[in-house]
């Protein structure tokens, strides 16, 4: 029997109190829902703006029971929420995405096995779980990138290796935990696609997003018609939809891709949640990725998002609070508020700060969307913003 939609007035819960949870809470509240957040941090960005904050560990039985009591349905804002916690909640309330899908995204080996199973190309790889599997690694995988199978994100838990000796040393530095070695590929570009899939199988997607990473952290996302060749965009959208369909996924899913120098497209990884590269959608689309997260969780109809403005998203890291007046050579020992007034004097600039109480280098403190009439105008404004804040040009 089809479950009726949860209409505004119901309470929607989210596991995790970070910035993605905060933006989900804002989207849900704007539609008239009550919200609850489970996060152990008393000052979590989402917990501080939600109607309810259950301050416990993610595996705390009493905390999970309280969240289930408060909520009519529950989602997650980051992939490292323990899958067993989602499974426990699902015994009492609708949960999206499901624990099984999140568990696959939490493990690079399972993730790559899923890509292989559905026929979506990924980088050649080998699993390393013990000394024997280390010694079996084929020479064709070197040079490569060694990644921990679990808990790695934003470039953490990774090492570039060129030789077997470097591979062995890197695995030792990673405490010999299960890892995946990926062949290093000649990259031309990086992109991502965000899809939203409902319980009825209905699916919509955002346009292909062109991404630039620095030090393993997303720095810039650019979205407009023609941002990448049409053939690549068509393949990326088809592959992202196939990944979601193969998981019987419910919720918002981001699929990240590499575009190789020979024009081939290979999938990198998935994120079972809204994603940094989709933040532009808040200001450049008529429906944001967080609006669709609310809709998929509540069982509301999905509408295809419309990109009404070209956009550039700049990730705002805590480094900006320590580089005085945009001069990156002048490193301050104390945090100083960046010159937001100068930035906001520019047309089409939308500032989103996450309510984090303390800035730290490499910590995601916010993002900034630039919208405008043409891709050229948006890029010019975004470069002026970058110059004011001391962000490297792109």
Sign of CA dihedral 264, 193, 16, 45: positive
Tokens of 174: 């990673």
CB burial class (10 A; 0-12, 13-18, 19+) of residue 345? exposed
- 230-246 and 108-118 helices, crossing angle to 10°: 110
- Do residues 37 and 52 lie in contact, with contact meaning Cβ atoms separated by under 8 Å? yes
| Alpha helices in 142-273, H assignment, sequence order | 164-173, 230-246
Q: What are the DSSP E strand ranges found in the chain?
A: 11-15, 34-38, 52-54, 73-76, 125-128, 144-148, 158-161, 179-183, 187-197, 203-205, 209-214, 217-223, 251-260, 265-271, 311-317, 349-353, 364-371
Binding site for ATP: what residues are annotated?
108, 147, 152-158, 182-185, 190, 213, 268-269
- Please enumerate in sequence order all residues whose Cβ is within 8 A of that of 156, keeping only pairs 6 or more positions apart, or say none: 216
Provide the residue count of the chain. 394
Q: Tell me whether strands 265-271 and 209-214 are parallel, antiparallel or unpaired.
A: unpaired
Binding site: what residues are annotated?
108, 147, 152-158, 182-185, 190, 213, 268-269
Give the three-state DSSP class for 65. helix
Radius of gyration over every alpha carbon of the chain, rounded to an integer in angstroms? 21
Q: Give the separation between CA 315 and CA 313, rounded to whole angstroms.
A: 7
């Amino acid at each position: 029997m089809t479950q009726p939609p949860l209409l505004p007035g119901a309470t929607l819960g989210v596991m995790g109190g970070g910035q993605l949870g905060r933006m989900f809470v804002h989207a849900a509240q704007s539609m008239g829902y009550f919200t609850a957040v489970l996060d152990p941090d008393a000052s979590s960005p989402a917990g501080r703006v939600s109607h309810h904050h259950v301050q416990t560990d993610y595996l705390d039985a009493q905390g999970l029971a309280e969240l289930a009591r408060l909520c009519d349905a529950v989602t997650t804002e980051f992939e490292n929420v323990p899958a067993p916690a989602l499974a426990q909640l699902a015994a009492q309330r609708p949960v999206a995405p499901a624990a099984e899908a999140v568990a696959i995204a939490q493990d690079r080996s399972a993730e790559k096995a899923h890509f292989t199973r559905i026929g979506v190309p990924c980088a050649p790889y080998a699993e390393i779980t013990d000394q024997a599997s280390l010694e079996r690694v084929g020479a064709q995988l070197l040079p490569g990138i060694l990644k921990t199978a679990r808990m790695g994100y934003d470039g953490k838990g990774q090492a570039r290796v060129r030789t077997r000796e470097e591979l062995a040393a890197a695995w030792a530095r990673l405490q010999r935990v299960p890892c995946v070695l990926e062949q290093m590929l000649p990259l031309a570009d990086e992109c991502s696609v965000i899809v939203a899939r409902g319980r009825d199988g209905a699916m919509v997607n955002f346009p292909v997003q062109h991404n630039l990473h620095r030090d393993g952290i997303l720095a810039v996302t650019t979205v407009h018609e023609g941002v990448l060749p049409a053939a690549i965009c068509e393949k990326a959208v088809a592959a992202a939809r196939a990944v979601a369909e193969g998981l019987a996924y419910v919720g918002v899913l981001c699929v990240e891709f590499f575009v190789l120098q020979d024009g081939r497209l290979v999938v990198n990884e998935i994120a079972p949640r809204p994603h940094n590269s989709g933040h532009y959608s808040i200001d450049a689309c008529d429906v944001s990725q967080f609006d669709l997260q609310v809709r998929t969780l509540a069982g509301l109809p999905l509408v295809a998002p419309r990109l009404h403005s070209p956009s550039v998203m700049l990730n705002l890291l805590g480094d900006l609070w320590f580089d005085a007046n945009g001069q990156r050579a002048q490193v301050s020992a104390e945090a100083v508020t960046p010159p937001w007034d100068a930035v906001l004097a520019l047309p089409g600039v939308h500032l989103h700060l996450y309510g984090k109480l303390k800035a730290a280098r490499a910590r995601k403190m916010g993002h900034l969307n630039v919208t405008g009439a043409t891709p050229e105008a948006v890029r010019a404004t975004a470069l002026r913003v970058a110059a004011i804040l001391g962000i490297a040009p792109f």
